[in-house]
Amino acid sequence: MKPSSALLESKFWLLVILNIALIVPLSVQATENTDSPFSNRTEEQSYTLPDWFKNSFLEIAEDVDEAAAVDRHVMLFFHLDNCVYCARMLEENFTADTHQDFLQEHFDVIAINIRGAREVVFNEEVTMPEKELAQTLKVDYTPTILFLDHENSTVARLNGYRSSKRFMQVAEFVAKHAYKSSTLSHYLEPEQDDKEESNNAARDNDTDQTSEAASNEDALP
C-alpha cells in the first residue's frame, strides 16, 4: 500500500523544518563570533621593559637626588607581569620614536612590580617590599605612574592606561616644572571629545593632581 500524498507532503515539510533548525544556529554563531568585539580579546600580554629604564637599587630618595642634579625627574612605573595595558602604554609611549627621546632626556624611569618582593627604600622612614609599597600608595590599576619632584614628593599621577596625547601632556607638565605655578587640571587642555578620558575620569579623577599628591603623601610617614 502506497503512502498517501498528504503523508508524503507532511514528511517533506518536517525534513525542511529540521534542516532549518540545524542551519540557523550555526549561521547565527558564526555571525556572533565574527562581529563580537571580544572575539579577539587578549586577557594577558607579555612585554619587556625598555632597556633605557633606570637600573635602580630602589633607593628612591637617592634616585631623586641624582635626577635633580641634572634637572631631571623620577617617574615610577607601577606595572604587573602580562598586563595588557602596561604593554600598550609601553609600546605607545616609552618605545615610540616620537616620545622616547623626550622621556629619556627629562626622566629617570623606575619600574616597580606591584606583586614584586624587592625591597624599596622610599625615604628615610619608609622601607618595604614592592607589593606593600604599591598597597600603601593605593595603586589599584596597572599601569600607574607617579611623577616625583626634586623633593621626592608626588606632583602628578596617572592611574591606568592613558592615550599618548594625555600622557605626554602630563610628562611635559612635570618636565617644565609647571607644577610649581599651576595645578595639573589647569595645565591640561580640555578634551571634550576624548571618550577615553571621559571614561577614565570617573575612575580616578587624575586631573586633580593636588588631591592625588596629598593622598599619596598622607599614606607615607
Mean pLDDT of the chain: 80
**Among 88, 132, 93, 95, which residue's Cα sits nearest to residue 112?**
132
pTM for the structure as a whole: 0.72
Write down the pLDDT at residue 29: 37
Distance, in Å, from the CA atom of 167 to the CA atom of 159, rounded to the nearest integer, reads 11
Write down the pLDDT at residue 190: 62
What is the arithmetic mean of pLDDT over 169-196? Answer: 83
Check: CB of residue 212 under 8 Å from CB of residue 154: yes
Tell whether the model's pLDDT for residue 163 goes beyond 50. yes
**Among 171, 184, 168, which residue's Cα sits nearest to residue 72?**
171
Tell whether the model's pLDDT for residue 132 goes beyond 50. yes
Task: Set out the domains of the chain in order of their start, with CATH numbers.
Answer: 60-219 (3.40.30.10)
Cβ–Cβ contacts within 10 Å for residue 20, how many? Answer: 9
What are the tens digits of pLDDT across the range 89-127?
999 999 988 899 999 999 999 999 999 999 999 999 999
Check: CB of residue 194 under 8 Å from CB of residue 117: no
Write down the pLDDT at residue 27: 37
